[in-house]
Amino acid sequence: MLKAEKLFYSYDNGEKKIEAVLDNLNLNIKKGEFVAVLGHNGCGKSTLAKHFNGLLTPLGGNVYVSGINTKDEDKIWEIRRQVGMVFQNPDNQIVANVVEEDVAFAPENLGIPSAEIRQRVDEALKTVDMYHYRKHAPHLLSGGQKQRVAIAGAIAMRPECIVMDEPTAMLDPMGRAEVMETILKLKARENMTVVLITHYMDEAAQADRVIVMDDGHIVIDDVPRKVFSQVELLKSLGLDVPQVTELAYELNSSGIEIDYDVLTVTECADKIMDYVRSVKSGN
């Protein structure tokens, strides 16, 4: 679905010497996969995201969307239709002053007839659970609601894939939960391919696959369980691990040996219980 081959990119900032932002990066994301991308600030996550819908084109290597090379200028609008984007600041990506008008923006640009736009808008708003707010003014909504409207705006294009660049970074815990719920629903119901760039480990833990970036490279690419068990490596890259993993890790370093490939509170509690039982029965 999304494929990067030997991708190289650097921003041209005039006289300064060229510094690679993405360096020989290879990545293949399959249809229906939910991939979380982690990495400290400035490691090139947003730059990578912008390559997936042709906002940026590679200086070296190639990026393919459903087999179409993003360098193919004739197909750029097809690529943009297939890859919906959601950005960090909800205020800066909402175009219209009524929710449903905003969701209609992309289908309008695609030249779809009015009746079908209506249908798509209603469907998209129902999917993100914002149908009730269709006549509202976006600036009066909460952050989580605005971000769901932005997601509806992307899925109204009927894309194959959604790329989200830190969609929860500016939200409160409730807004974050709303957005995560919407993402999981999209994946389960529509088999949507999702790329989620995030700073929150508990969000990444819910993905099928986690990619950790550092200085324009991919350092780790594995299932969340395996990724988060590499606590020391993650810390050396300036990243955190989910709280429960951290707990298991700290218990381990104080001599309480339990597996620390745990991702949920229940799992962690079970592991600790097992340990307690084994200690008791040992005595």
Partner 1 sequence: MLKDITLGQYFPIESFLHKLDPRTKILIFILDIVIIFMAQTAVSYAVLIGFTFLLMLISRVPVKMYIKGLKPILYIIIFTAILNLFLTDGRDLPVFGYSIGITVEGAIVAVKMAVRLVLLIIASSALTYTTSPMALTDGIEKLLKPLSRIGFPSHELAMMMSIAIKFVPTLIEETDKIIKAQKARGASFDTGSIFKRAKALIPMLVPLFISAFRRADDLAIAMESRCYTGGDGRTRLREIKFTRTDLIGALAFLVIFAGVIAIDIVF
Ligand X SMILES: Nc1ncnc2c1ncn2[C@@H]1O[C@H](COP(=O)(O)OP(=O)(O)O)[C@@H](O)[C@H]1O
Contact residues: ligand X, CB under 6 A = 11, 13, 21, 39, 41-47
Determine how many CB atoms are found less than 10 A away from the CB of residue 279. 10
Q: Which is nearer to partner 1, 56 or 247 (CB)?
A: 56
Q: Burial of 253 by CB count in 10 Å (0-12 exposed, 13-18 middle, 19+ buried)? A: exposed
Site for partner 1 in 118-147 (CB under 8 A): 118, 121, 135, 137-139
Binding partner at 47 among partner 1, ligand X, Mg ion, none, C-beta below 5 to 8 Å by kind: ligand X
* Amino acid identity, position 160: E
**Residue selected from 14, 16, 74, 111 as contacting partner 1 according to rule CB under 8 A:** 111
Determine how many CB atoms are found less than 10 A away from the CB of residue 69. 16
**Residue selected from 32, 61, 72, 105 as contacting partner 1 according to rule CB under 8 A:** 105
Give the CA dihedral 136, 139, 141, 147, nearest 10 degrees.
Answer: 110
Q: Which is nearer to partner 1, 122 or 222 (CB)?
A: 122
Binding partner at 132 among ligand X, Mg ion, partner 1, none, C-beta below 5 to 8 Å by kind: none
Binding partner at 100 among Mg ion, partner 1, ligand X, none, C-beta below 5 to 8 Å by kind: partner 1
Total residues belonging to the chain: 283
Does residue 63 belong to the site contacting partner 1 (CB under 8 A)?
no
Binding partner at 11 among partner 1, Mg ion, ligand X, none, C-beta below 5 to 8 Å by kind: ligand X
**Residue selected from 38, 112, 213, 220 as contacting partner 1 according to rule CB under 8 A:** 112
Residue with tokens 């947003």: 46
Task: In angstroms, give the least distance from the CB of 126 to ligand X.
Answer: 32
What residues pair up with 220 in beta bridges, in sequence order?
A: 212
Task: In angstroms, give the least distance from the CB of 88 to Mg ion.
Answer: 7
Q: Which of 88, 69, 89 is nearest to 78 (CA)?
A: 69
Does residue 70 belong to the site contacting partner 1 (CB under 8 A)?
no
- Where would I find the beta strands (DSSP E) of 2-126? 2-9, 22-29, 34-38, 60-65, 68-69, 83-86
Does residue 95 belong to the site contacting partner 1 (CB under 8 A)?
yes
DSSP per residue over 220-278, as a string?
EEE-HHHHHT-HHHHHHTT----HHHHHHHHHHHTT--------SHHHHHHHHHHHHHH
Task: In angstroms, give the least distance from the CB of 237 to ligand X.
Answer: 12
Q: What is the arrangement of strands in the sheet containing 22-29, beginning at the earlier edge strand? A: 22-29, 2-9, 60-65, 68-69
Q: Which is nearer to partner 1, 139 or 226 (CB)?
A: 139
Instruction: Please name the residues in contact with 45: beta carbons below 8 A apart, sequence gap of 6 or more.
Output: 37, 39, 165, 197, 213
Task: In angstroms, give the least distance from the CB of 240 to partner 1.
Answer: 27
Q: 243-253 and 265-282 are packed helices; what angle lies between their axes, rounded to 10 degrees?
A: 20
Site for Mg ion in 39-58 (CB under 5 A): 46
Q: Which residues bind Mg ion (CB under 5 A)?
A: 46
Q: Which residues bind partner 1 (CB under 8 A)?
A: 50, 53, 55, 77, 80-81, 84-85, 87, 89, 91-98, 100-101, 104-114, 117-118, 121, 135, 137-139, 153-154, 157
